[in-house]
Amino acid sequence: MQFIDEVKIFVKAGDGGNGCVAWHTNKFEPRGGPAGGDGGSGGSIVILADPQLSTLLDFRFHPHFKAPSGEGGMGRDRYGKSGEDQVLKVPVGTLVRDFETGELVADLVEAGQRVIVAQGGAGGRGNIHFATATYQAPEEAEMGVLGKERTLMLELKLLADVGLLGFPNVGKSTFISVVSRARPKIANYPFTTLVPNLGVVGLSGSRSFVLADIPGIIEGAAEGHGLGHRFLRHVERTHVLIHLIELLPSDNGGERDPLGDFDTLNRELEKYDPALAHRPQVVVLGKMDVTETREAYPALKKKFAKRGVELHAISAATNEGVKELLEQVWTCLKPVSRDT
């Protein structure tokens, strides 16, 4: 399924039905009085967070929504039928913004959470409401109120406890496939992962957390370079970041500089959202099954230690250090509550 995380939609609530001007016409009631009923209310547009959904794809192809209007009032004191609300289902983690003002309408972070984004119009009153002791034959009724209409921007931010970051092709997809049931595409070229992947990581004692693999971020991602600009929003809700680095040769033929990569990625986080750069990070050197990486690890660990950063080491291929890493991540998560 195609992953779509931002769409613009137009919504129009139903109009209220008009009130009715009518009179009792019973055979033996020549002056039966007013009998015009009220119009029905128009249906509202409601947005509902559905945990079964993971993309905004449906809205990309059908961006216009209109709720049914209320029926007009009728004679013999009969009220018009109200229009049904139209419910639009979105993934949990969707933000709803007014497209014109940028105002945040709702942040749907819980399954079943719902918000009325366009209120249906009220039905007009029939002439039965305007009769008084001195005005017994009112010839007036109210028009129904028009339903609200607006343009909205839906923006999906994944709900994950931990974000997995790293330059393209450093082994993020392999890692998440080893520690969870997520099965992302894995290949030996940059930008293999084109969409974020979610996986549930299980630990002993019924402990678990949700891990999000964010597509490769490169220098300049905050300005829109590479893929990172599109997907940096998906780490905004995370509590802890796993920063995966490597020593293997880079695309230009030279060796990657793990410390330089670490600094570059943190600069991109700082540019996008300063709060992200100060989020707890667990920094990991991957691919320890490679001889060159294993030999370079002690010196790299000392370099990072001078920055006050503990450098962990793993091999997703052999599972070396993976269990210890996950326990360290859990230790970082424990003090953080979901509503922080």
- Answer whether CATH 3.90.550.10 is correct for domain 6-156: no
What is 162-333's CATH number? 3.40.50.300
Residue 121 or residue 219, greater confidence = 121
Bridge partners, residue 107, by sequence: 95
The pLDDT value given to residue 191:
40
* CA 321 – CA 244 distance, rounded (Å): 13
Q: Give the tens place of pLDDT for each residue, 138-159.
A: 999 999 999 999 999 999 887 7
Query: Taking the CB of residue 19, how many other CB atoms lie within 10 A of it?
Result: 27
Band (pLDDT 50/70/90 cuts) for residue 225 is very low
Residue 191 or residue 243, greater confidence = 243
Q: Where in the chain is the domain with CATH 2.70.210.12?
A: 6-156
The pLDDT value given to residue 169:
75
Residue with tokens 């137009």: 10
Angle at 121 between CA 124 and CA 99, to 5 degrees: 160
Per-residue pLDDT, averaged over 276-298, amounts to 90
pLDDT of 1 higher than 50? no
Residue with tokens 């079964």: 52
Which sign does the torsion angle of CA 53, 56, 46, 68 carry? negative
Q: Where in the chain is the domain with CATH 3.40.50.300?
A: 162-333
The pLDDT value given to residue 222:
42
Band (pLDDT 50/70/90 cuts) for residue 336 is low
The pLDDT value given to residue 193:
45
Band (pLDDT 50/70/90 cuts) for residue 311 is very high
pLDDT of 115 higher than 70? yes
Q: Hey, is 210 helix, strand or coil?
A: strand
Residue 97, CA distances (Å) to 38, 62, 69, 105 in order? 34, 18, 25, 5
The pLDDT value given to residue 64:
97
- The pTM for the full model equals 0.74
Per-residue pLDDT, averaged over 153-182, amounts to 85
The average confidence (pLDDT) of the chain is 85
The pLDDT value given to residue 117:
97
pLDDT of 306 higher than 50? yes
